[in-house]
Structure 1
Amino acid sequence: MTTSPIPATPAEVPIRKAASVLLLREAAAGFEVFVQHRVNTMDFAAGMVVYPGGRVDLQDGQAADEAEMDPAVLSDHVQRWAHTSVLAEGRERAPHLAGEVLFAARREVFEETGLLLDPGQLHPWANWVTPAGFPRRFDTYFFVAALRAGQEPIHQTTEAVISKWTSPEALFAALERGEVKMMRPTQRTLLDAMELGSIEQIMSSKPVISPVHPNPEDSQSSHPVRDSERQPRG
């Protein structure tokens, strides 16, 4: 008798840590954000507008353990991620887990844009967890980073057809017209930044970050977020 493998239930899909970075620069009116338009053949977020980012790898934990980081920066990240899975293994392991998502964010930005950020430029912003029922699940840590003079990201990833600077207003206008697609986490993290108005206010804000577990039907929707659908920050 032959048997077939029992398909995994949604609860058995492993949740991988990931990092995503909103790269910001000053503009004549407010700020601009660096985005990537992913190719349509990707197995995750195909055709979507996203920020530079990707999965946390073993090398990120190693980098965090070996790097000489400013203790104040790492301590701030541990505190900001206090309500997320960074604290899941206890206070003693928290600096390592906070460090690995930080270095994953730094590595992904470098690989996809050629830009090497200082760890101190990356500020915790939000945490979204893919709900059960999807073939791939991510515990994604979003960061914001204000770029300095001379720091200029470029398009150098095969996962996207184009990378470019855009104003949030222009991006959402294109979304409303159906010209681009953006998943809920991408939309809401940018809307939160827009509410603050300026890079100075964004970088100085320290909101309480709690994991967002969206409705499965809403999680990967690319329809524009309406005011009535907004989720308040913690």
Structure 2
Amino acid sequence: MDIRPAATLVLTRNTSEGLEVLLLQRTWDAVFLPGYFVFPGGAVDAQEPHGREHALGPGDAEISQIMSVDEGGADYMLAAVRECFEEAGILVAVDKQGNPVSGDHSVHGDRESVFRGELSLADVCRKHGLSIPLDRLAYLSHWITPPGPPRRFDTRFFVTTAPEGQLASHDGVETIDHVWIRPEDALEHHRSGRRLLGLPTIRTLRVLSDFGTTDALMRYAHANPPEPYPSKPWPALKNGRPVTLDPGSPAYDEATKLDPEGEGLTQAEVVPGDPVEVAAGVIRLTAPNPGMMTGPGTNTYLLGHERFTVIDPGPANETHIERILEVTGGVIDQVLVTHTHQDHSPAVAALKKRTGCRVFGWPAPEGASQDQTFRADDEPEHGDLIVTEAGILRVLHTPGHASNHLCYLLTDQALLFSGDHIMQGSTVVINPPDGDMKAYIESLYDLLAESIHFIAPAHGFVMGQPEAVIDFLITHRLSREHKVARALEALTPVDLKTLTAMAYDDVPAAIHGLAARSALAHLLKLEAEHRAFRKDDLWHISPDR
């Protein structure tokens, strides 16, 4: 699938309540992000370079250098201006006297022609004697759509102050509503399920929420363009042969972290029993228990140099236990577990018997999936610090997948051992009653407040861009919650099976039984928020929602 270049323009304005931004709601018939609130933007088209002759401010070479592209940086900016005019009816342009375009300027009569592609931005500028002040735009962020969606974009985000006197209006075709809103309010609406927001929108709003005025925001954006991150194919090894990893592939972040020079020395596969040093003093050793729920197997992490701390020793598999003892030389001071599911903690007993190590974790809740043999010497509280040879670990209680789930943050390296709270390549099962969707999403939000550079999950490769990873998980869950709520509203009162069929109509019917557990978790969250209630075996929408 081709990744199309695209541009977005964040319009801001000052109000008595603080800084506001313009969001447009995409039509529900859209192929990409239906019903989502977004900033004006779209694909860069072939006519964009013609607009350069009508641009004021820095030239293409200077803009391209700021954006870390070989050429065409100005074309992204011009596309952002054009798309904003098409979608929101606001044109960032000045006349021959340098005055901003007003709300009653004749150029607004050409909005439909630009939208239909009959006129380019250059045509409009030539016709009305206008120029595009690119120096009034600042480069804010860069986002590449990860693999999976029906369309992928390489999008550059720009920010500007909205010109006074022009009124925003959605186009009624691609967008069906618009709102000026404070960034922090938009984020709260997303968290409460009132508005659908995509990952780049969330990340951008989070940045904007730190500023009270447009002047402060623009000063920051001009002085702090985003740093480039690896976005080109990366060499690696698989089955002993050279391969090339594309951005977004499972092993990509780990390969760029462990092999920053691109020498092609890292493995693009997780091999059970093979030790991999994923950080200073941190070795990953994967158990031989691959499967649908465990991916390539459960990752055990060994922290230290001479005396070791073990995180998630895994299942009671003799081969894996012996491998842990071999790699550590049997010198294990302590064992930490993230939670007590059967693929994470059963090996604790054998290691305790063989090494006399101290065991950290929380007791197992009731349930067949829980390791009832687990016994802890210490039950660390949220925020507690645990000393290891690799550095200090901070304990983070992260319920949701399991009520006793803990993550461990290696503070010096900003490396999060996420257990099953965050998995690489798949979403986490939330299975009531011990699984709690409300607690899961809230603890994901809590992780956004932590300083994290990389995530070391219990299944899969090391992940970079943790904020994007966490935002994706939150957005995925809230998007599904929105479908569950819409289905409940349409069918109320309704039984779980019927609701699941409608809310999960995009997944095979064969797995609707599993989907029903997730649907129940969403309904219980809605019930806890007084947005739904259950009577007998039927679910109802709350009248006072």
Q: TM-score, normalised by structure 1?
A: 0.77
Report deviation, 1:28: 1.0
For 1:38, the aligned partner's letter is R
When residues 74 and 152 of structure 1 are mapped into structure 2, their CA distance, relative to the original with a 3 A threshold, is: farther
Indicate the residue corresponding to 1:128 in structure 2.
Answer: 143
Tell me the percent identity.
31
Q: Does 1:174 align with 2:160?
A: no
Q: How far off is 1:211 after superposition?
A: 5.0
- Specify the code of the residue in structure 2 equivalent to 1:40: W
Q: Is the 8 A contact 1:30 1:199 kept in 2?
A: no
Q: Give the drift of 1:226.
A: 2.4
- Confirm or deny: 8 A CA contact 1:16 1:139 kept in the other structure: yes
List runs of 5+ in structure 1 lacking aligned partners.
1-12, 88-93
CA contact (8 A) 1:17 1:55 kept: yes
Q: Distance in 2 between matches of 1:211 and 1:43?
A: 29
The equivalent of 1:47 in structure 2 is: 35
Distance 2:466 2:16 in 1: 28
* CA deviation after TM superposition for structure 1 residue 78, in Å: 2.5
- Residue 69 of structure 1 aligns with an amino acid whose one-letter code is A
State which of 68, 83, 104 in structure 2 corresponds to 1:108.
Answer: 83
> Which amino acid in structure 1 is aligned with residue 55 of structure 2?
M
Residues paired across the two proteins, number: 204
Q: Structure 1 residues 189, 209: CA separation in 2 closer, same or farther (over 3 Å shift)?
A: same
RCO comparison, higher one (Cα < 8 Å, 6+): 1
On the 8 A contact 1:111/1:157 being kept in 2, the answer is no
- Asked whether the 8 Å contact 1:109–1:115 carries over to 2, the reply is yes
The CA deviation at 1:74 is 4.4
User: Structure 1 residue 226 and structure 2 residue 445: aligned?
Assistant: yes
User: Could you say what secondary structure the match of 1:196 adopts?
Assistant: coil
Amino acid at match of 1:80: I
Q: Aligned AA for 2:91? A: L
Q: Show the counterpart of 2:166.
A: 151
CA contact (8 A) 1:129 1:211 kept: no
In structure 2, C-alpha distance between the alignment counterparts of 1:26 and 1:108, rounded to whole Å: 22
Matched, 1:209 2:226: yes
Q: Secondary structure at the match of 1:210?
A: coil
Q: Which amino acid aligns with 1:148?
A: P
CA-CA distance at 1:134 after TM superposition: 3.3
Give me the whole-angstrom Cα distance separating, in 2, the residues matched to 1:216 and 1:19. 28
Matches within 5 A, 1:184-195: 184-195=199-210
**1:152-208 per-position Cα deviation (integer Å, ceiling 9, x unaligned):** 322224112101211223212221221111011101111111123321111011224
Separation in 2, partners of 1:175, 1:130: 20
Question: Contact 1:101–1:141 at 8 Å: present in 2 too?
Answer: yes
Mapped partners of 1:134, 1:165: distance in 2: 28
CA distance in 1, matches of 2:142, 2:425: 16
- Provide the TM-score with structure 2 as the length reference: 0.35
Q: Secondary structure at the match of 2:58?
A: helix
For residues 51 and 109 of structure 1, what CA distance do their matches in structure 2 show? 8
CA positional deviation for 1:23: 0.4
Aligned 8 A contact 1:73 1:120 in 2: no
**What are the residue-to-residue correspondences of 1:61-72 with 2, within 5 Å?**
61-64=49-52, 67-72=53-58
Contact 2:140-2:225 at 8 Å conserved across structures: no
The Cα offsets for residues 104-127 of structure 1, whole Å up to 9 and x where unpaired, read as 101101111222103332211100
Contiguous gaps of at least 5 residues in structure 2: 94-133, 230-246, 249-423, 428-440, 450-464, 468-545
Does structure 1 retain, via aligned residues, the 8 Å contact 2:183–2:208?
no
AA aligned opposite 2:137? L
Q: Secondary structure at the match of 1:175?
A: helix
| Equivalence for 2:155 | 140
CA distance 1:198–1:76, change in 2 (3 Å): farther
